[in-house]
Amino acid sequence: MKGIPPIRSRRGRRRRRPDKLHADKGYDYSHLRRWLRGRGINHRIVRKGIETSTRLGRLLSQARHPSVPLIRWRASNGTPTLVTVAEPKHQIRALYTASTVTVYQAYGPEIGLPAARDGRFPAAWQRDRMTWIKPSFLWMMYRCGWGSKDGQETVLAIEITREGFEWALEHACLAHYEQGLHPDRTTWKRQLKRSPARVQWDPERDLHLRPLPHRSLQLGLTGEAAHRYADEWTVCITDITTLAHTIHDHVRDGDLTAARRLLPAEHSYPAPEGGLDHLHR
């Protein structure tokens, strides 16, 4: 803890003290817990003989949003060294349950309001056009300007079945040609034309909607996939425009802690083994 470098904050002095600490069972000592409590630091330390340290990675993943940097200790020649752990370049982070995954879209009130009211897309929603869904809440906020852009004033959280989401990923094609992933440009164009879904990897965003180093999934649905999305996969549609505005207000006021508390709890999505290999290098 004493080795944590000063971290710049938007207001006041640079911070050296985290809000919460996660540690493995090598730090399960009462005097260390007392030391942390005395400095007002919340902690989650794996307990010896009760929990396994293999849970720590899952706890770390669930405890934070990717806009929050992750710091770990690494032993170098027997000396602990503080290092920042990089996010995987491509990942799907989403709010999900055992059976559903939440994606986001934004529409004008003529589409968004009846969709949220009825729990399904209205007849005016065009099933024959490509529609893009985003598992990342903050990327959706970047795209719709926190629900302020014309035609995107109503922000929707759509729960769809994981079975449908994974079907779309399995049948998707990368939206751009990638040398080394596709045999050649002609083959890629042929795959793209016949695929009912396509994938873009765009920079994830922080609370200020600035780009982060790692990429977030955007999933475009057309043809069969768009029809199945609207008519089979959709479980629930919720209007979260007020939530988006509230988080934005906290960000503008400089209260990022309050803003983070309201963010959806997005975790790394457990895609099937090898299920994304055809979508990135």
Whether 115 and 179 share a structural domain: yes
14 found inside a domain = no
Domain extent at residue 51: 20-63
Confidence (pLDDT) at 30: 80
Whether 31 and 148 share a structural domain: no
Residue at token pair 């405890």: 63
Burial of 91 (0-12, 13-18, 19+ CB in 10 A): buried
Whether 107 and 246 share a structural domain: yes
Whether 164 and 251 share a structural domain: yes
Q: How many domains does the chain have?
A: 2
- Pairing outcome for strands 90-91 and 211-221: parallel
177 found inside a domain = yes
In contact, 22 and 63? CB cutoff 8 Å: yes
Whether 135 and 246 share a structural domain: yes
Task: Report the DSSP beta bridge partners of residue 267.
Answer: 94
107 found inside a domain = yes
Whole-prediction pTM: 0.72
Whether 148 and 40 share a structural domain: no
Give pLDDT < 50 ranges for the chain.
53-54, 57-63, 75
181 found inside a domain = yes
Confidence (pLDDT) at 53: 47
Count of C-beta atoms within a 10 Å radius of residue 34: 10
Confidence (pLDDT) at 123: 92
Whether 149 and 240 share a structural domain: yes
Confidence (pLDDT) at 45: 81
Whether 57 and 129 share a structural domain: no
Confidence (pLDDT) at 61: 47
Confidence (pLDDT) at 93: 92
Confidence (pLDDT) at 9: 56
53 found inside a domain = yes
Tell me the C-alpha distance between 114 and 204, whole Å: 30
Tell me the C-alpha distance between 219 and 158, whole Å: 14
Confidence (pLDDT) at 65: 54
pLDDT tens string 19-64: 777 777 667 778 778 888 887 888 778 777 665 544 554 444 444 5
